[in-house]
């Protein structure tokens, strides 16, 4: 295009996008910071519209033509791209199946927009969209991109069915998203930018703009899930570490002065060598209790054990020889498996089965562990980790060791834990991300 035509398109398309932004702002004032975070850029590299987190890129021919057809579509596209940024889809680690991952991100965004009651974005949902939402809502409490991705994997979609969904839900161009191979500090900067905007938006929705947020369907729940505090299970296990010696070189105690002096004086006789034993803080004695009542999912338990195995294998959190008791319990002790090394944990996971399916009573595990302590089965027991849904009978007396209750997929729920218990809430995607990293 000539410079004059380009300037004319920039002027017209700028007015179109500004009009869209203003309509969205009047309907959803809590988006003021997010809506004003974009510049506008003409791009013939895209066939429609998209963002890199900083600017909205648009094909001028497509944008002007689409504006003549439907202003509401422009509003939805603007909001769609902005919500991708607000939920940090641009900076999340892509999943193995890229097509399925990008589709999952689009479904998550469209489900939020379709749940809103604002006239400037209301469009009738197709029968296909409604059916997908229905199926996903049966499996997920909140339709996050990660949860949708797992659900779509379980559906084992044919290529034809997958393409139908891609056609139905695609709104913007994801090729503009930053690649994981790009400059990591830049990606972290983009992540922090939209994290700050998202947290301020959530605060605004919960306080000053509460009335307007009430018309925004599932948006607030989505924002809460995306902004929830994420826990590093690996770092959490370090709370139960003890000081011990392990066979490895200890460079911290090595003195190069005596080493080089010996070589100079005797030719090949250093006066000091590195210590072959190093003091480290790792987990040695540990108890993992698994709630096997009917309310606990076997898939989630296996995901939890898989992450525990990856940490054990990494050799930076556990000693090489460990004393881990994996206890299954519903309202009574069902099994106790002693794990002393990585190989035994692999065998246990390969043949793992949940035993129980009764009610939930946490007290038998603590009574049993106290019995093991009195029998001298532990040397330095620092903690017990109880994997559960939180619905059961707790002991009234605090145990002699730290106790943490780990919950999964319980967004927004409050657990009535005793004051001596530590609470850790993880999502399946948190474990997946830690496994990937």
CB neighbour class for 146 (10 Å; exposed up to 12, middle 13-18, buried from 19): buried
- Kind plus residue range of the DSSP H or E element containing 57: strand 55-58
Q: Answer yes or no: is pLDDT of 278 > 60.
A: no
**What pLDDT does 246 receive?**
46
Mean pLDDT of all residues belonging to the chain: 82
Which pLDDT band holds residue 184 (cuts at 50, 70, 90)?
confident
Q: Answer yes or no: is pLDDT of 424 > 50.
A: yes
> Which percentage of the chain shows pLDDT scores above 70?
79
The full set of domain ranges for the chain reads 3-227, 234-242+283-436
> Which percentage of the chain shows pLDDT scores above 90?
41
Q: Answer yes or no: is pLDDT of 410 > 80.
A: no
* pTM to 2 decimal places: 0.71
Q: Answer yes or no: is pLDDT of 407 > 90.
A: no
Q: CA angle 11-14-18, nearest 5°?
A: 140
**What pLDDT does 126 receive?**
92
**What pLDDT does 163 receive?**
95
Which pLDDT band holds residue 372 (cuts at 50, 70, 90)?
very high
pLDDT tens, 233-275? 667 766 665 544 444 444 555 555 656 666 666 666 554 555 5
Q: Answer yes or no: is pLDDT of 215 > 50.
A: yes
d(CA 45, CA 225): 34
**What pLDDT does 167 receive?**
95
Stretch 87-116: mean pLDDT: 93
Cα–Cα nearest to 94, from 172, 181, 153 = 181
Which pLDDT band holds residue 211 (cuts at 50, 70, 90)?
confident
Which pLDDT band holds residue 121 (cuts at 50, 70, 90)?
very high
d(CA 316, CA 314): 6
Q: CA angle 183-184-185, nearest 5°?
A: 95
Cα–Cα nearest to 311, from 336, 282, 289 = 282
Q: Which CATH architecture has domain 234-242+283-436?
A: 3-Layer(aba) Sandwich (3.40)
**What pLDDT does 393 receive?**
85
Q: Answer yes or no: is pLDDT of 391 > 70.
A: yes
């Amino acid at each position: 295009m000539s410079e004059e035509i380009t300037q004319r398109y920039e002027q017209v398309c700028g007015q179109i996008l500004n009009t869209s932004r203003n309509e969205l702002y009047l309907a959803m004032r809590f988006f003021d910071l997010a809506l004003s975070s974009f510049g506008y850029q003409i791009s013939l590299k895209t066939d429609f519209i998209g963002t890199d987190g900083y600017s909205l890129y648009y094909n001028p021919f497509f944008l002007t033509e689409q504006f003549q057809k439907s202003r509401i579509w422009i509003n939805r596209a603007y909001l769609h791209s902005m919500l991708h940024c607000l939920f940090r889809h641009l900076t999340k680690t892509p999943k193995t199946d890229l097509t399925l991952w990008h589709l999952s991100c689009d479904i998550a965004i469209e489900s939020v927009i379709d749940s809103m009651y604002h006239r400037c974005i209301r469009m009738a949902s197709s029968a296909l969209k409604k059916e997908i939402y229905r199926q996903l809502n049966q499996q997920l409490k909140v339709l996050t991109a990660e949860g949708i991705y797992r659900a779509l994997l379980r559906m084992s979609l044919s290529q034809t069915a997958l393409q139908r969904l891609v056609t139905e839900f695609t709104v913007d161009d994801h090729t503009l998203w930053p690649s994981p191979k790009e400059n990591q500090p830049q990606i972290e900067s983009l992540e922090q930018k939209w994290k700050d905007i998202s947290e301020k938006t959530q605060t605004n929705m919960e306080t000053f703009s509460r009335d307007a947020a009430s018309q925004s369907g599932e948006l607030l729940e989505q924002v809460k899930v995306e902004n929830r505090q994420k826990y590093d299970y690996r770092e959490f296990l370090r709370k139960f570490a003890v000081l011990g010696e392990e066979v490895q070189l200890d460079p911290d105690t090595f003195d190069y002065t005596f080493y080089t002096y010996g070589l100079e004086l005797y030719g090949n006789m250093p006066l000091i060598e590195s210590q072959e034993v190093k003091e480290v803080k790792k987990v040695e004695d540990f108890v993992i209790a698994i709630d096997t009542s009917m309310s606990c999912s076997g898939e989630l338990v296996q995901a939890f054990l898989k992450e525990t195995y990856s940490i054990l294998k990494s050799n930076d959190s556990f000693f090489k020889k460990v004393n881990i008791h994996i206890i299954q319990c519903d309202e009574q002790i069902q099994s106790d498996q002693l794990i002393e090394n990585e190989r035994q944990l692999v065998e246990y996971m390969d043949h793992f089965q949940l035993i129980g399916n009764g009610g939930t009573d946490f007290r038998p595990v603590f009574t049993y562990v106290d019995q093991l302590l009195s029998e001298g089965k532990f040397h330095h027991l620092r903690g017990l980790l109880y994997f559960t849904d939180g619905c059961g009978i707790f002991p009234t007396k605090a145990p002699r060791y730290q106790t943490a209750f780990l919950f999964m997929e319980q967004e927004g729920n409050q657990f009535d834990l005793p004051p001596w218990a530590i609470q850790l809430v993880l999502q399946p995607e948190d474990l997946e991300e830690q496994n990937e990293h």
